[in-house]
Structures are given as C-alpha cells and as structure tokens.
Structure 1
Amino acid sequence: MKKIILTGGGTAGHVTPNIALIDKLQKEGYDIYYIGSKTGMEKDLIGARGIRYYGISCGKLRRYMDIKNVTDAVRVVKGVFEAVSIIKKISPQVIFSKGGFVAVPVAVAAKILNIPLIIHESDITPGLANKIAIPFAKAVCASFPETLSYVKKENVFLTGTPIRKELFNGSKEKGFALCGFTEKRPTVLVIGGSQGSIKINAVLRQALPALLKSYNIIHICGRENVDKALLNTENYKQFEYLGPELAHIYALSDMVVSRAGANSIYEFLALKKPNLLIPLSRNASRGDQILNAASFEKQSISKVLPEEELNENSLVLNIIDLYSNRDRYVDAMADSNLSDGVAEVVKIINKFSKKSEK
C-alpha cells in the first residue's frame, strides 16, 4: 500500500484542509499517517478521524528578537531528529504539508531523507513557516492565482483549497435544533476564527439590540469567550467552537461575517454563502487576510469591512447591505472558477508519489 504523511498544525486553518483530503486519499489507496505537535489542537482533530498520529517538538517562529527564539530553535532541532526517526519508520512515498510551525522540522527531515514534500499555501503570500519550508519542497499548491507570482519555484500549481465534504451535507432543521431558534428569520453566522476575535466579539455584542430586531445571530466566539450574561438572549446563540455541527450551522445561515482566513473564505465560496469579511489589520498580522479579502472583493465574491472601520454602526449597516444584495454575491460565486481543491491537490500528490516509486 502507498503511504503518505500529512503534517500541519497550530490553528484549525492548518489542519482542516488535511482533514478534507483524508477520504479521497484513502480511496486512492494511501495508508495515512500524521505528524503534528505534541499538544496542539491538531492532535484531537486528527485523532477523532482514526489516523495514526505522531507528536514532535516544535518552536514558534518569530520575525522579531526574543529570548524565546533561542529555546524554540532548540525545540525545532529536536523536532527534526524526531521527524527523521518517524519518517524512516513509516517510509512514505510522499509528505504533504499544510504549514504551521510544526511543519518546519518535518520539511527539513523530508529533505534529509529525500522524500518528496508537497506544500499547500492557503494565503496569497506564504507565511513564515512555509517560507522556510518551500526550498525543501518538490512542489507548492496554491489557493489564489496571485500566489504564483510570489513563489519562485518551478513546480507551483493553482489547486484551490481542499474543502471538507461533510460541510455540504448540513441540515437546516438540525441547525435550528442546535440553536434553539423559534423564529425562522434571516440568520447571520459570525465567526472570529478558531481562537476568536476580541474586537469582533465586542462590537457584535454592542450591535445585538439593533441586529436582533431583524435577524437570528449565531456567534462562534472562540475558546472561553462566551458571555454568560447573554446566554438566555432570544435569537442569539453562542458557541466556543464547532466541529461536525458546523455543517448544520452553515446550512441554517443565510450569510456569514468572518475574518478573512483563506480556508474559511473558500468554504463560504464553495457553499455559496454571502459574506462580510473583516480581515485582521496590519497591526495584528502580516497583512495576509487583507490581501485575501481584497482578492475576493475584486471578484465580487465578498463584501469587505476593514477592521479600522469596524464599529457598532458600520457592522449593522454592512450586514443590512449584504443581505439586501445577497443574490448578487451568490451569482458571482456561482460564476467563479475558484473551486474545491481536493481533486486537484490529490492529483499533485499522486504525481510526485509515483515519481518517488520509480
């Protein structure tokens, strides 16, 4: 049987595209293994899928001076040795990386052992971990056409982002049951990312009196960010995080307000959900979400509200405008040539897996 190692972790965005590939890879005859961090969220997410999981040491990569850079560098080196030992034992035909800090030791180990490494970059510009890992890769898969001009490598392929197939099988009725809504009004799903967003959470809660006059609100607020004072608010439901239930929540939702992480916005596109994007500002990020949002706004797929302009009034007005023009956004998404990347990514994996078998 062919063997493949998947890697990636740190945030849900570095794990869920790997999860989306599992069924297809198994149908293609691959025995699947996963290398992640010892304590990251990927351990639980992958473990729930019955995939054999190996944890290694890893350190955070920083663009600034910090004493922790020294200790984390030691962890990265340790992780390389651990990854080499694991990869030798498994002896895969190919390794697929979704990025994140844990993927760096695996990329180095793949190069040492001469195992083909394929990297997927979700954002328009590569993050720091992928920048370090790309020189060790045989190929890079990209979600956005713009990425092709940023990655100076021979084998760069526009594949789109792998989307979990279960997201297409949600039930609106089950969504209503999860939320306990009794009024079948337009429903707005608000997502602050897997870690939550302090600013989006705060502004949304300020805007609730106005929004709840017309909409049901579902709020994915992040771990330990539930406001207990609002637990019994009619037509407002809070979740820290959603796993399999997310499909039903998507089915129920008429539109989405979200950060502009690449994996999330490709889910909105695949599901044809009108969306308002509030990308992380450059003060809090490297600006990747701003570029992602601008690309989708240019294609009329998304409406964008810069974080610097986010307040109670602007949020309400933008949600009203999005709902009023929802059909226009759905039509633009239907015409888009950006699609689910599962088949395209597996095609690239097969290509380099076969080369390694020769």
Structure 2
Amino acid sequence: MKKIIMTGGGSAGHVTPNLALVPKLKELGYEIEYIGTQDGIERKIIGEEGIKYHSISSGKLRRYFDIKNFTDPFKVLKGILQSILIMKKVKPNIVFSKGGFVAVPVVIAAHINKIPVIAHESDMTPGLANRLSAPYCTKVCVTFPESVKNIKDNKGVLTGTPIREELLNGSRILGRKICGFEDKKPVLLIIGGSLGSKFINDTVRLVIEKLLQNYNVVHICGKGNIDESLKNSKGYKQFEYISEELPHIMNTADIVISRAGANVIFELLALRKPNILIPLSKKSSRGDQILNAASFEKSGYSVVIQEEELNKKILLEKLEGLYKSKDKFVSNMTSSSIKNGVSNIIKLIEEYAL
C-alpha cells in the first residue's frame, strides 16, 4: 500500500482542498496521514475525517516586523526535526502540500528524506509559504493559467483547484428547506471567507431591508458575527460557519457576494453561480485576492467591487446589474476551459510517488 502525507494549515483554504483529493486517494489504495499544528484549524477539520494526525511546531511567517520574527525560526527548525522523525516512521511515498506556514518545515523535511513533494498554490501569485517551499518541491500545481510563469525551474503545472465532489452534488430544494425559505424569491448568498468579514457584514446589513424585497438572503457571517436583532427577519438566514450544509446552500444560491479567495471563486465557477467579488484590500493582505478577482472579471465570470469603493449605493447598483445579466455570466462560466483539478493533481501524485 502506498502512503501519502498531506499538509497545509493556518486557514480553511489551506486545508479543505486536501479533502477533495482524499476520496480518490483512498480509492487508489493510499494510506493517508496528515501533519499540522497543535492548535491550527487544520486539526479540527482533519480530525473530523478520521485521518491520522501528527502535530509539529511551526513559526508564523510574517511580512512585517515583529519581535517573534527572531524566535519563530527556531520553531520552524524544531518543526523540521519533528517532521523528519515522522517521515522516518511513516515512510511515505510522497508528500502533498497545500501551503500555509505549517507546510514549510514538512516540505523541507521531505526534501531531506528524498521524498517527492507536490505542492498546490491556489492564488494568482505564490504565497510566502509556497515561495519558501518551492525550491524543495518536485512540482507546484497552479490554478490560474497566468500563474505558471511565476514558478521557477519549470516546476509549475496548470491543474486547476481541487473541488470536493459533494459540493457539486448539493440539493437546491434541501438548501431552501435548511434556510426556511418558503416563497420563490431568488436566493442571494453572502460569504465573507472562513472567518467572515465585518466590513461586508456591516454593509449588507445597512441595506438588508431593500435586499429582502427582492431576495431571500443567506449570510455566512463568521464566528461571533450573528446580528441578534435580525434573527427573526423573514427571508434572512444567518450562519456563523457551515460545513455539512454548505453543498446544499451553495446549490440553492442564484447570486453570490463573496470575498475573492481562490478556493471559493473556483467553486463558484464550477457551480456556475453569477457573483460579485469584494477582494481583501492591500491594507490587510498581500493583494492576491485583487489579482484573483481581476482575472475572473476579465474572463466574464464575476463583477468586482474594490473594498475601498464599497458602499450601500454601489452594492445595490452592481447587484441589480448582475441579476439582470446573470444568464451572460452563466454562459461564460459554462464555456470555461478550467475544470475541477482533482484528476490532474492525482495524476501528478501517481506519477511521482516512489
């Protein structure tokens, strides 16, 4: 039996794409184990899948000055040593990395042990963790055609992003039932990322009465962001976070307002959901969501509102325009050559597994 170690963490976006690969890997007979941090979100997500989990030390990778920048390299070094010991015990045939700060010591340890590494980068440009990891990787999978040139040494491979099969098989009827929507108004889904977005939440709630005149609204608002004053509003359903219900909620949506993380926008593309993207600004990110959104806007898949431009008036105007021309966006997405990346990534894993 072949063995694979998977890694990635720090946010749900660095974990859930791994899960899209798990069913196919199991079908092919792989024994799967996972390396993550003790307290990261990856531990909870992977634990729910019944996959054997190993905890290591890992320092956070920062682009700004912080006193911890002087101590965290020692945590990374400890994580490398821990990963080396895990790999000597597990003896994996290959490692798959989805990025995030926990992946760096794992990838370096695999390289030291001469174990092939396939990494995946969701965004247009590589994140810091994947930039540090790339020299130790065998191949780096990318999601956007424009991204291949950003990977050095001919390691870049255009695969698309892996999308969980269950997400494509949700029930529109069940989604409406979960939300308690009884009329036939179209459904507007609002997603602020895995942690929610206070900025988007606040703007949406300023116009919620107008939105509810035309839509049923599902709002995934993030932990601690439920608005108690709106809990009994007819046609408005709030969730802090959803997991098992997500395929049904995604499928019931007619229009989506979302951040522009690569995982979610490619899920919207696969599901052919007309959408408004509000990317994180450069003030609070490295600008990757801005590039992601620009690519989707150029391809005719999305309408984009920059965070600095977002207000009540613009949101309502863009939403009205999108809904009127939604068939055009669906047509553009239907014609897209970008497909679910699961099969392409699995082929690479099979090709390079020792």
Query: Normalised by the shorter chain, which TM-score bucket?
Result: over 0.9
- Once the two structures are superposed, residues 248-273 of structure 1 have per-residue CA deviations (whole angstroms, 9 ceiling, x without a partner) of 10121101110000000000011111
Specify the SS of the correspondent of 1:213: helix
Contact 1:123 1:143 in 2 (8 A): yes
Specify the SS of the correspondent of 2:214: coil
Moved more, 329-338 or 317-326: 317-326
* AA partner of residue 318 (structure 1): K
Q: Work out the CA distance in 1 between the residues paired with 2:260 and 2:26.
A: 30
Contact 2:125 2:150 in 1 (8 A): yes
Specify the SS of the correspondent of 1:316: helix
Residue number in structure 2 paired with 1:138: 138
Query: Shift of residue 74 of structure 1?
Result: 2.0
- Once the two structures are superposed, residues 157-212 of structure 1 have per-residue CA deviations (whole angstroms, 9 ceiling, x without a partner) of 10000000001111122212211122220111000000111110110111101111
Contact 1:262 1:292 in 2 (8 A): yes
Q: Which runs of 4+ in 1 moved over 4 A?
A: none
* AA partner of residue 203 (structure 2): V
Residue number in structure 2 paired with 1:4: 4
Residue number in structure 2 paired with 1:296: 296
1:262-301 alignment to 2 at 5 Å?
A: 262-301=262-301
Q: Work out the CA distance in 2 between the residues paired with 1:206 and 1:183.
A: 23
Q: Work out the CA distance in 2 between the residues paired with 1:287 and 1:335.
A: 28
Q: Work out the CA distance in 2 between the residues paired with 1:253 and 1:269.
A: 13
Residue number in structure 2 paired with 1:87: 87
* AA partner of residue 105 (structure 2): P
Residue number in structure 1 paired with 2:170: 170
Q: Work out the CA distance in 2 between the residues paired with 1:24 and 1:319.
A: 38
1:46-85 alignment to 2 at 5 Å?
A: 46-85=46-85
Contact 1:207 1:313 in 2 (8 A): no
Q: Share of identical aligned residues, percent?
A: 54
Query: Shift of residue 10 of structure 1?
Result: 0.9
When the two structures are superposed, what TM-score results if normalisation uses the length of structure 1? 0.97
Q: Work out the CA distance in 2 between the residues paired with 1:35 and 1:336.
A: 35
Unaligned 5+ segments in structure 1 are none
Number of residue pairs the alignment of both structures matches: 354
Specify the SS of the correspondent of 2:204: helix
1:100-249 alignment to 2 at 5 Å?
A: 100-249=100-249
Residue number in structure 2 paired with 1:328: 328
- Once the two structures are superposed, residues 251-309 of structure 1 have per-residue CA deviations (whole angstroms, 9 ceiling, x without a partner) of 21101110000000000011111111001111111110011011111110111111111
- Once the two structures are superposed, residues 295-343 of structure 1 have per-residue CA deviations (whole angstroms, 9 ceiling, x without a partner) of 1111101111111110111111111111111100000001100110000
Q: Work out the CA distance in 1 between the residues paired with 2:75 and 2:103.
A: 13
Q: Work out the CA distance in 2 between the residues paired with 1:343 and 1:299.
A: 23
Residue number in structure 1 paired with 2:319: 319
* AA partner of residue 284 (structure 2): A
* AA partner of residue 96 (structure 1): F
Contact 2:196 2:221 in 1 (8 A): yes
Query: Shift of residue 70 of structure 1?
Result: 2.0
Q: Work out the CA distance in 1 between the residues paired with 2:68 and 2:230.
A: 39
Contact 1:260 1:279 in 2 (8 A): yes
Contact 2:149 2:156 in 1 (8 A): no
Unaligned 5+ segments in structure 2 are none
Specify the SS of the correspondent of 1:339: coil
Moved more, 45-54 or 95-104: 45-54
* AA partner of residue 147 (structure 1): S
Q: Work out the CA distance in 1 between the residues paired with 2:153 and 2:184.
A: 51
Residue number in structure 1 paired with 2:35: 35
Moved more, 69-78 or 191-200: 69-78
* AA partner of residue 312 (structure 2): E
* AA partner of residue 217 (structure 2): I
Specify the SS of the correspondent of 2:119: strand
Q: Work out the CA distance in 2 between the residues paired with 1:200 and 1:327.
A: 25
* AA partner of residue 285 (structure 1): S
Query: Shift of residue 153 of structure 1?
Result: 2.2
Q: Work out the CA distance in 1 between the residues paired with 2:54 and 2:166.
A: 25
Q: Work out the CA distance in 2 between the residues paired with 1:199 and 1:352.
A: 44
Residue number in structure 2 paired with 1:22: 22
Specify the SS of the correspondent of 2:95: strand
Q: Work out the CA distance in 2 between the residues paired with 1:10 and 1:185.
A: 37
Specify the SS of the correspondent of 2:317: helix
When the two structures are superposed, what TM-score results if normalisation uses the length of structure 2? 0.98
- Once the two structures are superposed, residues 17-65 of structure 1 have per-residue CA deviations (whole angstroms, 9 ceiling, x without a partner) of 1000000111122111111111111111111111111111111101122
Specify the SS of the correspondent of 2:346: helix
Q: Work out the CA distance in 2 between the residues paired with 1:224 and 1:37.
A: 24
